[in-house]
Amino acid sequence: MWHLKLGRAGPNWPEIFLTCPFTGRRESLRYPATYKEQAIDTLEQARLAFEACIDKKGQDIRLLGVGDLTIVAEYFVICTALSPQQASGIAEAIRHSLKEKCSRLPLAIEGGDSGWWVLVDYGDFICHIFLEEARQYYAIEQTWADAKELAKFDGRLLRKAE
């Protein structure tokens, strides 16, 4: 059993010492004290996913705030792809963007094989990438009609709600 001791390494870097009771070996672990302030918040991460959809030429992209309506997620990013290959490419672009800018990987990516509906789940926000037929069939915007639309991109116009 390791013993835990908190030390002081600097103004923003407290130090945690772990000591093995058998060998006396001491390990030091560091982490920033201001971790929450340094982390990118969930809305900003969802906006990064939204921008990745734009970069990969997704159609009719929406960012919805659903946190007041469900416990499933805080935000949905909804996008239409023109082909299964584009749907998989958009999902990969989202994964890559968030990994690069936030060091964050999705909990799951579902539907990438068929491309009919690709779901990229980050826990606190979910990206839905549909083919046109699937988007009409599932009518996700009608299901979440009470959600607040935070941003919309229809191929020509980017509109951000305040």
Query: What global pTM score does this model have?
Result: 0.72
* Structural domain boundaries in the chain: 3-38, 42-154
Q: How confident is the model at residue 28 (pLDDT cuts 50, 70, 90)?
A: low
Residue 129 clears pLDDT 80, i.e. is over it: yes
pLDDT at 36 over 50: no
* The pLDDT of residue 34: 41
- Give the tens place of pLDDT for each residue, 46-99: 999 999 999 999 999 999 999 899 888 999 999 999 999 999 999 999 999 999
Mean pLDDT of the chain: 81
pLDDT digit string, tens, across residues 91-128: 999 999 999 998 889 999 998 788 899 999 999 999 99
Predicted local confidence at residue 23, as pLDDT: 64
How much is the average pLDDT of 18-45?
60
Give all strands (DSSP E) within 47-157, no chain letters.
Answer: 59-65, 75-81, 108-110, 117-121, 125-131, 148-153
pLDDT for 31 = 46
Q: Which residues of 23-56 are buried (b: 16+ CB within 10 A; e: fewer)?
A: eeeeeeeeeeeeeeeeeeebbebbbbbbbbbbeb
Look-up of token digits 């560091």:
30
**CATH architecture designation of domain 42-154:** 2-Layer Sandwich (3.30)
pLDDT at position 3, please?
A: 46
Q: What pLDDT sits at residue 132?
A: 94
Strands of the 125-131 sheet, one edge to the other: 108-110, 117-121, 125-131, 75-81, 59-65, 148-153, 158-160
Q: Which residues contact 99 (CB under 8 A, 6 or more apart)?
A: 105
